[in-house]
Structure 1
Amino acid sequence: MRAIFAALLGLTTGMAMAEMKTEKVEYRDGDTVLEGYYAYDDAAYKGEKRPAILIVHDWNGLDGYEERRARELAALGYAAFAVDIYGKGVRPTNNAESGAQAGKYRADIDLFRSRLNAGLEALKARPGVDPARIGAIGYCFGGGGVLELLRSGAAVKAAVTFHGSLATPRPADAANIKAKILIQHASQDPSVPLTQLGDFIKEMGDAKVDYRMIMYNLAVHPFTVPGPQYNEVADKRSWAAMKEFFLENL
């Protein structure tokens, strides 16, 4: 009984020591001020370099959804940084504004990649982050962003996309990819037609990229986001698959 009590006391003490830390982080891409969201568990990897995950937001811009995902990743022991593509204070309030902002970066891949790499450098600069063990995740617009980050040759070890775009104007740049990739796709996603899926498979095959793809039958776009299209089963399964993938590759 004493041994059990001591074990429980140790567990409770350890839980008390764990502390979630979050902060807004200003950084720059050239003259543009950006503001990301950083989360980590202060007790995890105490005194050691910790693996880190970069999060790329959907077309709505960085908001509470990505901040929640950052905290969930921090609870798993990762340092998590939700990047800002649009700029500090630029937060769309409706679909028209979201489409205009996302379209700006889809039309200018060099600018998009510059913003993505600025976020990556900001993450690498955080104290305690292991630059050799960085992963990335992205949702919708952000899923396509993660792939563009990889195509730019960024030093990312593993990446996961959730119902993200697969298209690129520069498929030959897949030769620059260093990461292992997990694509999590909805079978009923009208934003990614079968032709785009086929082009992506060819692109990855030509570049000999180490990737895998999970298709969630009857799921639609965007199946992980609360709302009419939310699919609880696909959301939970895709998160579990991501966790296993990062444990294997980071």
Structure 2
Amino acid sequence: MKSRKIEYRVGDTVLVGYLAWDDARSGPRPGVLVFPEAFGLNEHARLRADRLAQLGYVAFAADLHGQGKVYPDLPSVMPAIKALYGDREQWRQRARSAFDTLIAQPEVDAQRTAAIGFCFGGATCFELARIGAPLAAIATFHAGILPEQAGDAGRMQARVLICNGADDPVVKKDALEAVTAELRRDRLDWQLIQYGSASHSFTDPTADQRGMPGFGYNALAEARSWATMRALFEDAFQR
């Protein structure tokens, strides 16, 4: 296995991503973006990139804050998240720049790409897909997806997998209904799976340590959602 850091830019903001691939394989192969939780490009995101590389993909874990910054807790990161929520054009540019960086790597087959994201990163997958990025598939995990913007209709091309904890207090029912209405309208290939007894951040083994109500790790939900993501990619990339 190999990995390297890659710097890329949006305007004056320098972003530092993490690329992982299996150097025992030869030739270009599908590339997968990994958008981290709100806290930034931490060990959780890098590990997912490594796991994707072990499956034969080239994975690029993106930096959405700049300089690879990782925030220690929710209160400290909220100003940065609210700033991107308030400037979705900047948010989308950062997502698109990560995509462009991924497909520029010589290990990547630029015609076969996907994205996954966790929490804020899952919402970022949707922001990228809504601007027409040519993704074969996106998979989101405990994602607080925002409603679409004017002009977004019909631009998303990807197959969609939404993995949500049934006991997640952060992801609201009306938000999921709005997103699935969007997917129905555009006649996309989509799945929404609710995992029983799973809370917010159910894929993160450190979630319980944060001491936040409604946040918690669920090993069974993590394993099942990852397996479903793998099946989605196998289907998407063979066509």
TM-score (norm: length of structure 2): 0.92
* Paired position in structure 2 for 1:94: 73
| Shift in Å, 1:203 | 1.4
Partner letter of residue 243 of structure 1? R
- On the 8 A contact 2:138/2:158 being kept in 1, the answer is yes
1:158-208: CA deviations, max 9, x gaps?
110001012225165141001111111111111122111211121111222
Runs of 4+ more than 6 Å apart: none
Q: Is the partner of 1:188 in helix, strand or coil?
A: coil
Report whether the alignment pairs 1:124 with 2:103.
yes
Q: Is the partner of 1:205 in helix, strand or coil?
A: helix
**Looking at CA atoms only, which structure, 1 or 2, has the larger radius of gyration?**
1
CA distance in structure 1 between the partners assigned to 2:38 and 2:202 by the alignment: 15
| Cα RMSD for the two superposed structures | 1.2
Unaligned runs of 5+ in 2: 209-215
Q: How many aligned positions are there?
A: 229
CA distance 1:211–1:171, change in 2 (3 Å): farther
Partner letter of residue 187 of structure 1? A
* Mapping of residues 33-48 of structure 1, within 5 Å: 33-44=14-25, 46=26, 48=27
Report whether the alignment pairs 1:243 with 2:224.
no
Unaligned runs of 5+ in 1: 1-19
- On the 8 A contact 1:174/1:204 being kept in 2, the answer is no
CA distance in structure 2 between the partners assigned to 1:160 and 1:31 by the alignment: 30
Partner of residue 136 from structure 1, selected from 115, 137, 162: 115
Partner letter of residue 8 of structure 2? Y
CA distance 1:67–1:89, change in 2 (3 Å): closer
- On the 8 A contact 1:171/1:203 being kept in 2, the answer is no
CA distance in structure 2 between the partners assigned to 1:39 and 1:89 by the alignment: 16
